[in-house]
Amino acid sequence: MSPSYLSAIAWTSGMARCYRRPYDAPMDAYAHVAVAVEDSPGSHKALEEAARMASLIGARLSVLHVTSIPMPPPYMGEGGVFLPDPEVMQAAALTWLKEMVEHVPGAQPQVLEGHPPEAVCQWAADNGVDLLVAGAERGRVERLLLGSFALHLARHAPCDILLARPDRG
Protein backbone atom coordinates (compact mmCIF):
# COMPACT_ATOMS: atom_id res chain seq x y z
CA MET A 1 0.00 0.00 0.00
CA SER A 2 1.44 3.35 -0.96
CA PRO A 3 1.64 6.11 1.67
CA SER A 4 -0.54 8.30 -0.53
CA TYR A 5 -3.43 5.84 -0.10
CA LEU A 6 -4.11 7.20 3.38
CA SER A 7 -2.70 10.67 2.80
CA ALA A 8 -6.09 12.06 1.86
CA ILE A 9 -9.69 11.28 2.58
CA ALA A 10 -11.93 12.07 -0.36
CA TRP A 11 -15.67 12.31 -0.80
CA THR A 12 -17.85 13.20 -3.71
CA SER A 13 -21.24 14.77 -3.88
CA GLY A 14 -23.49 16.11 -6.58
CA MET A 15 -22.45 19.68 -5.79
CA ALA A 16 -18.69 19.24 -5.48
CA ARG A 17 -16.62 16.88 -7.56
CA CYS A 18 -14.06 16.04 -4.91
CA TYR A 19 -12.75 17.45 -1.68
CA ARG A 20 -9.40 16.26 -0.42
CA ARG A 21 -8.14 16.81 3.08
CA PRO A 22 -4.48 16.07 3.77
CA TYR A 23 -3.88 13.79 6.70
CA ASP A 24 -0.50 14.13 8.40
CA ALA A 25 -0.85 11.53 11.15
CA PRO A 26 0.93 8.19 10.79
CA MET A 27 -1.07 5.22 9.49
CA ASP A 28 -1.18 3.64 12.95
CA ALA A 29 -3.27 6.60 14.14
CA TYR A 30 -6.27 4.56 12.96
CA ALA A 31 -6.73 2.19 15.90
CA HIS A 32 -10.45 1.65 15.31
CA VAL A 33 -11.97 1.38 11.83
CA ALA A 34 -15.73 1.08 11.42
CA VAL A 35 -17.65 0.37 8.23
CA ALA A 36 -21.36 0.98 7.66
CA VAL A 37 -22.99 -1.68 5.48
CA GLU A 38 -26.24 -2.62 3.82
CA ASP A 39 -26.93 -5.15 1.09
CA SER A 40 -25.52 -3.23 -1.88
CA PRO A 41 -22.45 -3.34 -4.13
CA GLY A 42 -21.10 -0.13 -2.57
CA SER A 43 -21.35 -1.61 0.92
CA HIS A 44 -19.59 -4.79 -0.15
CA LYS A 45 -16.77 -2.68 -1.60
CA ALA A 46 -16.64 -0.59 1.60
CA LEU A 47 -16.37 -3.75 3.73
CA GLU A 48 -13.61 -5.06 1.49
CA GLU A 49 -11.64 -1.79 1.76
CA ALA A 50 -12.18 -1.45 5.52
CA ALA A 51 -11.09 -5.05 6.15
CA ARG A 52 -7.99 -4.60 4.01
CA MET A 53 -7.02 -1.37 5.77
CA ALA A 54 -7.68 -2.71 9.27
CA SER A 55 -5.62 -5.80 8.49
CA LEU A 56 -2.70 -3.78 7.09
CA ILE A 57 -2.49 -1.37 10.02
CA GLY A 58 -3.59 -3.72 12.79
CA ALA A 59 -6.74 -1.78 13.66
CA ARG A 60 -9.90 -3.03 15.33
CA LEU A 61 -12.74 -3.46 12.80
CA SER A 62 -16.40 -2.86 13.61
CA VAL A 63 -19.05 -3.58 10.98
CA LEU A 64 -22.24 -1.55 11.46
CA HIS A 65 -25.73 -2.06 10.08
CA VAL A 66 -28.69 0.13 11.01
CA THR A 67 -32.31 -0.98 11.21
CA SER A 68 -35.17 1.46 11.38
CA ILE A 69 -38.85 0.82 11.86
CA PRO A 70 -40.81 2.43 9.03
CA MET A 71 -43.58 4.73 10.15
CA PRO A 72 -46.96 4.26 8.46
CA PRO A 73 -48.35 7.26 6.60
CA PRO A 74 -50.66 9.34 8.82
CA TYR A 75 -53.63 8.87 6.48
CA MET A 76 -53.74 5.11 7.00
CA GLY A 77 -56.17 3.76 9.53
CA GLU A 78 -54.82 1.61 12.31
CA GLY A 79 -56.77 -1.48 11.22
CA GLY A 80 -54.52 -2.57 8.34
CA VAL A 81 -51.14 -1.30 9.54
CA PHE A 82 -48.50 -3.92 10.21
CA LEU A 83 -45.40 -2.76 12.05
CA PRO A 84 -42.57 -5.26 12.38
CA ASP A 85 -41.44 -6.29 15.85
CA PRO A 86 -38.21 -4.36 16.60
CA GLU A 87 -36.67 -7.36 18.39
CA VAL A 88 -37.36 -9.63 15.41
CA MET A 89 -35.86 -7.01 13.06
CA GLN A 90 -32.74 -6.68 15.23
CA ALA A 91 -32.29 -10.46 15.43
CA ALA A 92 -32.71 -10.89 11.66
CA ALA A 93 -30.29 -8.03 10.98
CA LEU A 94 -27.69 -9.50 13.34
CA THR A 95 -27.98 -12.93 11.68
CA TRP A 96 -27.55 -11.33 8.23
CA LEU A 97 -24.61 -9.20 9.42
CA LYS A 98 -22.82 -12.17 11.01
CA GLU A 99 -23.13 -14.07 7.72
CA MET A 100 -21.79 -11.05 5.84
CA VAL A 101 -18.66 -10.77 8.02
CA GLU A 102 -17.93 -14.44 8.62
CA HIS A 103 -15.09 -14.29 6.06
CA VAL A 104 -13.56 -11.16 7.64
CA PRO A 105 -11.11 -12.06 10.43
CA GLY A 106 -11.63 -10.06 13.61
CA ALA A 107 -14.71 -8.18 12.38
CA GLN A 108 -17.10 -7.22 15.17
CA PRO A 109 -20.72 -6.92 13.93
CA GLN A 110 -22.90 -4.23 15.50
CA VAL A 111 -26.59 -3.70 14.74
CA LEU A 112 -27.84 -0.19 15.47
CA GLU A 113 -31.34 1.23 15.44
CA GLY A 114 -32.55 4.59 14.19
CA HIS A 115 -31.98 6.95 11.30
CA PRO A 116 -28.93 5.41 9.58
CA PRO A 117 -26.56 8.39 9.16
CA GLU A 118 -27.30 9.77 12.62
CA ALA A 119 -27.04 6.36 14.28
CA VAL A 120 -23.68 5.64 12.62
CA CYS A 121 -22.22 9.06 13.54
CA GLN A 122 -23.40 8.74 17.14
CA TRP A 123 -22.03 5.20 17.47
CA ALA A 124 -18.70 6.33 16.01
CA ALA A 125 -18.49 9.17 18.54
CA ASP A 126 -19.46 6.94 21.47
CA ASN A 127 -17.01 4.16 20.54
CA GLY A 128 -13.84 6.05 19.61
CA VAL A 129 -13.84 5.33 15.89
CA ASP A 130 -10.84 6.84 14.09
CA LEU A 131 -11.89 6.06 10.52
CA LEU A 132 -15.40 5.49 9.20
CA VAL A 133 -15.77 3.70 5.84
CA ALA A 134 -18.97 3.64 3.79
CA GLY A 135 -20.11 2.92 0.27
CA ALA A 136 -21.00 5.73 -2.12
CA GLU A 137 -23.06 4.71 -5.11
CA ARG A 138 -26.21 6.76 -5.58
CA GLY A 139 -26.71 8.90 -8.63
CA ARG A 140 -27.65 12.58 -8.58
CA VAL A 141 -31.39 12.03 -8.84
CA GLU A 142 -31.44 9.53 -5.96
CA ARG A 143 -29.36 11.92 -3.82
CA LEU A 144 -31.80 14.77 -4.52
CA LEU A 145 -34.86 12.68 -3.71
CA LEU A 146 -33.56 10.53 -0.87
CA GLY A 147 -30.63 12.46 0.55
CA SER A 148 -27.11 11.18 0.78
CA PHE A 149 -25.85 8.94 3.56
CA ALA A 150 -22.28 9.63 2.42
CA LEU A 151 -22.79 13.40 2.38
CA HIS A 152 -24.25 13.28 5.90
CA LEU A 153 -21.18 11.37 7.08
CA ALA A 154 -18.87 13.87 5.39
CA ARG A 155 -20.54 16.72 7.23
CA HIS A 156 -21.23 15.17 10.63
CA ALA A 157 -18.89 12.24 11.32
CA PRO A 158 -16.72 12.73 14.40
CA CYS A 159 -13.72 11.17 12.62
CA ASP A 160 -12.10 10.79 9.22
CA ILE A 161 -14.16 9.09 6.54
CA LEU A 162 -13.36 7.03 3.47
CA LEU A 163 -16.00 6.48 0.82
CA ALA A 164 -15.67 3.42 -1.39
CA ARG A 165 -17.31 3.23 -4.79
CA PRO A 166 -18.28 -0.14 -6.22
CA ASP A 167 -16.23 -1.43 -9.13
CA ARG A 168 -17.65 -0.23 -12.40
CA GLY A 169 -17.86 -2.87 -14.98
Tens of pLDDT, residue by residue over 90-141, are 999 999 999 999 999 999 999 999 999 999 999 999 999 999 999 877 655 5
Domain-wise residue ranges, the chain: 3-70+85-164
- Answer with the residue of higher pLDDT: 73 or 136: 136
What is the rounded CA–CA span in Å between residue 55 and residue 49?
10
Mean pLDDT, the chain, integer: 78
What kind of fold does domain 3-70+85-164 have according to CATH?
A: Rossmann fold (3.40.50)
Find the helix or strand (DSSP H, E) in which 121 lies.
helix 116-126
- Answer with the residue of higher pLDDT: 106 or 69: 106
- CB neighbours of 45 closer than 8 A, spacing ≥ 6? 135, 164, 165, 166, 167
